[in-house]
Structure 1
Amino acid sequence: MAVKNILAACAAALALTGCGTISKILPEAGPGTLAPIGKVSRADIAKSGQPVMKLTVPSRGIETFLTIRDRRGDVVNWMAADGTLFSFRNDVLIETRGLGADLMSSAAPSAGQILSGQAHRRAYFYVDDDDQTGRRDYQCQMSRTGSESLVIYGRAYTASKLAETCERDVGRITNHYWVEGGRIRKSQEWVSPGIGRVEFERVID
């Protein structure tokens, strides 16, 4: 969807308050193209005055920004300019809306469980290729894979990398987390069979 069409949709969806913030970050693009977010400077992003996260969905060729739409208790809803929504509980992805093959809900560990290395269970409820809801249950183990230097939108960080390996009778998935200063700075988290893993990078806190 062209950025002009995205912004028009945002204007019509008054409840989606994050649209105005995103429109200040993304530059105008030509008809039928997405804004080249790589040409937006960190200083320009910071002008939004709000936390900003970069989203990458490799299976869909999506690369864009997210800003906070709202908070409900310990759940924070982050939104893209087209209304696609990502819900996090304690910094861990629990739901998506707008991707098609969405993660409808999940039983996920807290960031504290991930950081402590505790074993845990996960349950994913997702939309499959037949537009039906599927479920997968996993037993998960955490492992620390060492320290890494990250560069996120021009700023360097030193983070500890953790891998969450989740297994069931048939198959496994692995989520990755980069922890800096006690918080998740970057993550690669599984959504559904149709989407695979998506990547989140915190650009502006």
Structure 2
Amino acid sequence: MALKTTTGALVLLATLAGCGKLEKLIPGVKDLTGGEAGGQLAPIGNVSRAAIEKSREPVMKLRVPSRGIETFLTIRDRRGDVTQWFSADGMLFSFRGDVLIETRGLGADLMSSAAPQAGQIASGGAYRRSYFYMDADDQTGRRDYNCIVTTDGSETVTIYGRGHSTRKISETCEREGGRLTNHYWLEGGKVRKSREWVSPGIGQIEFERVVD
């Protein structure tokens, strides 16, 4: 019981810290959680792009269709080539070389993965991916895929009111009994937008870099 209480307290502290930082960076973001940690998220269109840019901090937009979530993320930590982003209500997303490798706070999370970085994806070719995720029984599942990359061509994407000229790349991954496709929109050498698979319970989620 003591361990459970301690863990709950740490999660609450992380949530409050996340909400506090985002509120400082983006005036009005408190309204996204109703002013309470763990509250229901409101549409993020309530916050203007000018307010986001005024923060002078990197900001990412997250959308989780299967959970009805749409919110902002900001950077919590950088360690080597891994960057960790977090939301006001405590969700965490880790990227290596602009590619998602872990999630926390979604329930059916991506616990870890063996994944290529954006540079490898952009260069094409074939490789393997491994996903380790939480299943419906709170057990860790694993899926291994053989992946190939195709370039879909140039595409202008609009992210929070601003257009970006990108090159869209699709990563098709297959295994016995299934396949999935991740999508990346590259602006120069950076992933401006991505749509990436997390787990059977979550499906794909979308990230958009609003401010670098």
- Same fold judged by TM-score > 0.5? yes
Report the TM-score, using the length of structure 2 for normalisation: 0.87
Matched, 1:69 2:72: no
Q: Which runs of 4+ in 1 moved over 6 A?
A: none
Shift of 1:110: 1.0
2:194 — aligned with what? 187
Query: Does structure 2 retain, via aligned residues, the 8 Å contact 1:107–1:122?
Result: yes
Q: What are the within-5 Å matches in structure 2 for residues 123-162 of structure 1?
A: 123-162=130-169
- Give the match for residue 98 of structure 1: 105
CA apart distance, 1:33: 4.2
Q: Is the 1:106–1:124 contact (alpha carbons within 8 Å) kept by the matching residues of 2?
A: yes
Alpha carbons 1:121, 1:138 under 8 Å: kept: yes
Paired residues, what number?
197
Name the structure 2 match of 1:19.
19
Q: Which residue of structure 2 aligns with residue 36 of structure 1?
A: 43
- Worse-matched range after superposition: 22-31 or 191-200: 22-31
Match of 2:59 among 29, 41, 52: 52
Q: For 2:90, what is the secondary structure of its paired residue?
A: coil
> In 2, Cα distance between the equivalents of 1:115 and 1:16?
37
Q: Are the structure 2 counterparts of residues 14 and 93 from structure 1 closer, same or farther at C-alpha, using a change threshold of 3 Å?
A: closer
Instruction: Specify which structure has the higher proportion of helix.
Output: 2
Q: Distance in 1 between matches of 2:210 and 2:10?
A: 23
Cα displacement (A) at 1:198? 0.3
Aligned counterparts of 1:64 and 1:104: Cα–Cα separation in 2: 21
The equivalent residue for 1:168 is 175
More displaced stretch, 58-67 vs 175-184: 175-184
Q: Any conservation in 1 of the 2:41–2:69 contact (CA below 8 Å)?
A: no
Describe the superposition over 1:66-111 as per-residue Cα deviations: whole angstroms up to 9, x where unpaired: 0000011110000000110000001100000000000000000011
Distance 1:120 1:80, change over 3 A: same
* Contact 2:49/2:160 (<8 A) preserved: yes
1:78-93 maps to which residues of 2 (within 5 A)?
78-93=85-100
Q: How far 1:55 moved relative to its partner?
A: 0.1
Residues 100 and 152 of structure 1, relative CA distance in 2, 3 Å threshold: same
Q: Which amino acid letter does the alignment assign opposite residue 19 of structure 1?
A: C
Q: Normalising by structure 1, report the TM-score.
A: 0.90
Which moved further from structure 2: 20-29 or 144-153? Answer: 20-29
Distance 1:65 1:98 in 2: 14
Amino acid at match of 2:98: D
* C-alpha deviation, 1:12, in angstroms: 5.1
* Separation (CA, whole Å) in 1 of partners of 2:168 and 2:144: 24
Contact 1:177-1:188 within 8 A present in 2 as well: yes
- Note the C-alpha offset of 1:21: 2.5
| Partner Cα distance (2:63, 2:15) in 1 | 24
State how far apart, in whole Å, the 1-side matches of 2:111 and 2:203 are.
14
Q: Structure 2 stretches of 5 or more lacking a match?
A: 1-8
Q: Which residue matches 1:107?
A: 114
